[in-house]
Structure 1
């Protein structure tokens, strides 16, 4: 059940025409540096086939040298969650992590497409920015984790660390935009009313660079001054109940309202029909709503790590619906082995679904745990892969063998709140600095909804009337 596609760097080195060997970390970058021409569907297939030969890239249940990942199918059909950990991404001490939660009839395919292509796009745009004059006068490589804030870019006379953050921000924004554009033009993937969330984190030395759309979430497990584990929420759940998100959607003629049977779940609707009822304000795909305020521009943020920061957890909303940030940190930090942390967290979420919402269909769950000290425990192969038979059975159609069938108050940053018990009102510990709402607007510490049962991301597919208002 190991998730690493390849563990041998030598087996993935390709040869240049002059006989030189390429380093594995430069494999994808070299591919993306080639002159771009009009890409056909066969080009995309070739690119995806090439990914399987890249080392330290993990997309299925398992562990790596500093992380573990696990996903389990819910009770709604095919597993629409996807996840990735890519170590030595663009260089040493640079790790890419991502969780993608699809929705709609083709959501599983959208999520997997984003998982495959978004990291390549980020590396491509970051590589392009490195070759620009802005950084040509500096000896600091943007993929080098040893960036010193007292070094100054001679061209712009700004600290290099600030310049690196700006480069990553630009790379994230361009990559997300390009990803959505590619989905729109994909010949064999209908994204009109299907889409995916995306929370992606790049760890570069002591820095975390984070891009987020939708309601998947990233949190940080850290120790406070009393040496107790606390949770720090790194991303905001970008849902239609956030005032600035709702304002943008309404300004674009989209509608935001809740159904009678779920009065606290705000959804996005077309201006001329009560469809599709999307429960998030930003997403890849969902092109039926892109003209009406739903965007794919990520919220970008930067977090500087300290010795007190221990691990990062990325997860889809199936986890946050039933577990608080603090509960997740407690579960991960108390796991008997680091390599089992993601699996144990998913199993806790599954039990909470059954206990709290026995009449609701459990959502898919996907978890990435990245340990910041770069260490994993040593254990036998039997322990490492000791998945319960029940877990394997419920997980059979969405993981290792992936198939394509398949009024506004200001609460604290806590749960996803699509599902929440009324008595669970924990206080937030501390919030990340440097959060930038890339779609416009000031920093907002908004959360989601309380006291509702689990609902689908989409209520229904568009059923356009033959005559639209005003025609």
Structure 2
């Protein structure tokens, strides 16, 4: 995957509230019209403490003005999935969406920490990068443009600069997030971690960054006015050839266990642990020296009028539903507000039908509707919800407190492994090995998942932390 920038009629102009048209070369500067003071560490802590009270930010089952989100706990212990939709993120007409799937004994805490902190880091880095380039072009956003006719060459150059800014912000923020997890005094990320699939919608542009095996897809209409699924991110698992090669170069090992030959895992060079089922993740510091990285895959897509919605979901959904099935379920939901919930319920039914002897994985879904429209509140309440940000839970999940912590710690998930007898019936799944390496200029199969329809846990073995050395007698 990589960035793809195109100039379309939809993305070549924008309108102010008074009807004045501005050129796209000023769009990115609008993000910085309000000068921000330099943030201190105490400001960052204060922001984290007040995140749950931000009206445009939802992170529990519910809806916003343009999206709905829903999560359901599986049967492996505490729900380790987290999700977020943050409208008016940094500026108007900018929305941040993310799904985070934790794994390991403290994966639920890692996922929530990333959910709360990563958007702030992304905003901070984009702000600092953009401010450096805000000099000469700022006047055009104040109405001092010499001409309403923009130079196409300059427009393309500016779009490239915007993409470059977001790319740099994604790379830096992911790196800073992983660094913060490593030094966190109260969160053990040695053999716990989280995936992340994050999307920034800015006007008619989508900027995406992802690590791990959570996925984003686009529901769009083709020339026949039929809904089609377009995969936006690639599941970054160890059975992707380029991921496996990197891990092996770093002395990590990649192989599958005998009782689940479909699931390639990452192992330490000197021990059969921890068996991580993804090639990139936040945390998992026991493997960071052996090829598992937190560098995101970044991509950019310019939206058209044919594009209708974006779905982000954890692998609990993708293990049992195809991209096409997900698009069909969301597009046929009776109300937009119920789309995420119906999708999760559909995935739950598929788990029971396809893997009756296996324990269902956690599922988390974000549905972002690109036209910015949502159902009326009355329609929403008919579906069983009561407000824009629900604190109730429809699946027996433990409800988060305001600080994102959970009142019921549980470490069961790490030990949920299918037995060989259970696995024999469901393990025959073909895997497409003909995947071109995007880093070498090829085009990867957009439907590559690395693992279709296989139930498994993301980390098999817990590694003991070395306690403080005891004094010799």
Residue 182 of structure 1 aligns to a residue in which SS? helix
Structure 1 residues 392 and 398: CA distance shift in structure 2, 3 A: closer
Structure 1 residues 339 and 188: CA distance shift in structure 2, 3 A: same
**Conserved in 1, the CA contact under 8 Å of 2:78 and 2:108?**
yes
Structure 2 counterpart of 1:413 = none
**Conserved in 2, the CA contact under 8 Å of 1:421 and 1:451?**
no
Structure 1 residues 464 and 195: CA distance shift in structure 2, 3 A: closer
**Conserved in 1, the CA contact under 8 Å of 2:262 and 2:454?**
no
Provide the rounded CA distance (Å) in 1 between the counterparts of 2:230 and 2:150.
24
After superposition, residues 60-209 of structure 1 pair within 5 angstroms as: 60-133=60-133, 135-139=134-138, 150=151, 159-209=157-207
Structure 1 residues 366 and 452: CA distance shift in structure 2, 3 A: closer
Structure scoring higher RCO (CA < 8 A, sep ≥ 6) equals 2
Per-residue CA deviations over 1:25-79 (Å, capped at 9, x if unaligned) read 999x988x4254xx4xx87653321223333011111111110000000001111
Provide the rounded CA distance (Å) in 1 between the counterparts of 2:112 and 2:35.
23
Provide the rounded CA distance (Å) in 2 between the counterparts of 1:194 and 1:150.
50
Provide the rounded CA distance (Å) in 2 between the counterparts of 1:450 and 1:171.
30
After superposition, residues 149-298 of structure 1 pair within 5 angstroms as: 150=151, 159-298=157-296
State the TM-score, normalized to the length of structure 2.
0.78
Residue 138 of structure 1 aligns to a residue in which SS? helix
Structure 2 counterpart of 1:460 = 461
Aligned length: 403
After superposition, residues 224-373 of structure 1 pair within 5 angstroms as: 224-373=222-371
**Conserved in 2, the CA contact under 8 Å of 1:256 and 1:267?**
yes
Is residue 34 of structure 1 aligned with residue 38 of structure 2? yes
Residue 113 of structure 2 aligns to a residue in which SS? helix
Residue 82 of structure 1 aligns to a residue in which SS? strand
- Shift in Å, 1:136: 2.4
Provide the rounded CA distance (Å) in 1 between the counterparts of 2:352 and 2:233.
27
Structure 1 residues 115 and 221: CA distance shift in structure 2, 3 A: same
Provide the rounded CA distance (Å) in 2 between the counterparts of 1:213 and 1:103.
13
**Conserved in 1, the CA contact under 8 Å of 2:97 and 2:199?**
yes
Structure 1 residues 63 and 277: CA distance shift in structure 2, 3 A: same
- Shift in Å, 1:230: 0.2
**Conserved in 1, the CA contact under 8 Å of 2:196 and 2:212?**
yes
**Conserved in 1, the CA contact under 8 Å of 2:240 and 2:450?**
no
**Conserved in 2, the CA contact under 8 Å of 1:151 and 1:160?**
no
State the TM-score, normalized to the length of structure 1.
0.78
Per-residue CA deviations over 1:117-144 (Å, capped at 9, x if unaligned) read 11011110100111114x4222477xxx
Structure 2 counterpart of 1:383 = 382
Provide the rounded CA distance (Å) in 1 between the counterparts of 2:323 and 2:137.
40
Residue 50 of structure 2 aligns to a residue in which SS? helix
Gap runs ≥5 in structure 1: 1-24, 142-146, 407-418, 427-434, 466-471
Provide the rounded CA distance (Å) in 2 between the counterparts of 1:240 and 1:386.
39
Structure 1 residues 148 and 48: CA distance shift in structure 2, 3 A: farther
Residue 236 of structure 1 aligns to a residue in which SS? coil
**Conserved in 2, the CA contact under 8 Å of 1:273 and 1:463?**
no
- Shift in Å, 1:115: 0.4
Provide the rounded CA distance (Å) in 2 between the counterparts of 1:311 and 1:106.
32
Per-residue CA deviations over 1:186-214 (Å, capped at 9, x if unaligned) read 01000000000000000001100000000
Residue 300 of structure 2 aligns to a residue in which SS? strand
Per-residue CA deviations over 1:154-191 (Å, capped at 9, x if unaligned) read xxx96111110010000000000000000000010000
Structure 1 residues 294 and 149: CA distance shift in structure 2, 3 A: farther
Provide the rounded CA distance (Å) in 2 between the counterparts of 1:103 and 1:236.
19
Provide the rounded CA distance (Å) in 2 between the counterparts of 1:148 and 1:172.
32
- Shift in Å, 1:397: 1.2
- Shift in Å, 1:392: 4.4
